[in-house]
A and B are shown apart, each in its own frame.
Chain A
Amino acid sequence: DAGVTQSPTHLIKTRGQQVTLRCSPKSGHDTVSWYQQALGQGPQFIFQYYEEEERQRGNFPDRFSGHQFPNYSSELNVNALLLGDSALYLCASSLIWQGSSEQYFGPGTRLTVT
């Protein structure tokens, strides 16, 4: 039973570029949440997807967008990258009826913006 997987593992981008990060949820899970974890900080909630729609959103600008596919996998897109976007991006999956307290995290994508 595969857990949550994310790709790529590491990524280096230049300021102003655009990036797409990918997440496959744990088998059987239908909800995907994305978090940004800057160095020395706890994860910050970006948004959550369920039934291919953004269900709720944290305090992140519109440069951050996402998508969920019919197979429940998800993408996080960040446009016009800033140096401050450098962080570990974590994906977490869960079942909608269990709530976010039962979420499982993926290994993350380390994004470096130069």
Chain B
Amino acid sequence: EDKVVQSPLSLVVHEGDTVTLNCSYEVTNFRSLLWYKQEKKAPTFLFMLTSSGIEKKSGRLSSILDKKELSSILNITATQTGDSAIYLCAVEARTSYDKVIFGPGTSLSVIP
């Protein structure tokens, strides 16, 4: 059965800290790995990763995919209180139709 696992499930850090969020997956016919940020309701897209070893960056956020290890990490440097959110990892699989499987999310709290 297709599965996406995230760790840790929750994390509390102080402003300025660097955090690393982990995602691992077992999916048939992998197509891409996606990271989302969910602050209140609607998840907002952060990154899409398809190739192994290539880092995607956006400001203080970066992510990399390891297809050999079936995993990905999301790094946030110099955290701010505005980074407090749930970070969702999802994997898109290509079967007869494409489908997206989400992990449980990591709840990040950044305290001043």
Nearest residue (CB) in A for B93 is: A100
A63 within 8 A of B: no
A44-B96 Cα distance, complex, nearest whole Å: 19
Contact: B34 with A90, CB < 8 Å? no
Interface, chain B (partner A; CB < 8 A): 4, 6, 31-32, 34, 40-45, 48, 88, 90, 92, 96-105
Contact: B42 with A90, CB < 8 Å? yes
Contact: B34 with A101, CB < 8 Å? yes
Interface residues on A, range: 20 to 34
Interface, chain A (partner B; CB < 8 A): 4, 33, 35, 40-45, 48, 55-56, 58, 88, 90, 99-101, 103-108, 110
Shortest beta-carbon distance from B9 to chain A in Å = 8
Total contacts A-B at CB 8 Å: 57
Contact: A42 with B102, CB < 8 Å? yes
16 examples of A-B residue contacts, CB within 8 angstroms: A4-B42, A42-B88, A42-B102, A42-B104, A44-B102, A56-B96, A56-B97, A58-B99, A90-B41, A100-B92, A101-B31, A101-B92, A101-B100, A104-B45, A105-B44, A108-B41
Complex contacts, B44 vs chain A, CB 8 Å = 105
Contact: B100 with A103, CB < 8 Å? yes
Nearest residue (CB) in A for B43 is: A105
Contact: B99 with A43, CB < 8 Å? no
Decide yes or no: A101 and B32 within 8 Å by CB, A40-B104, A42-B103, A108-B41 being known contacts.
Answer: yes
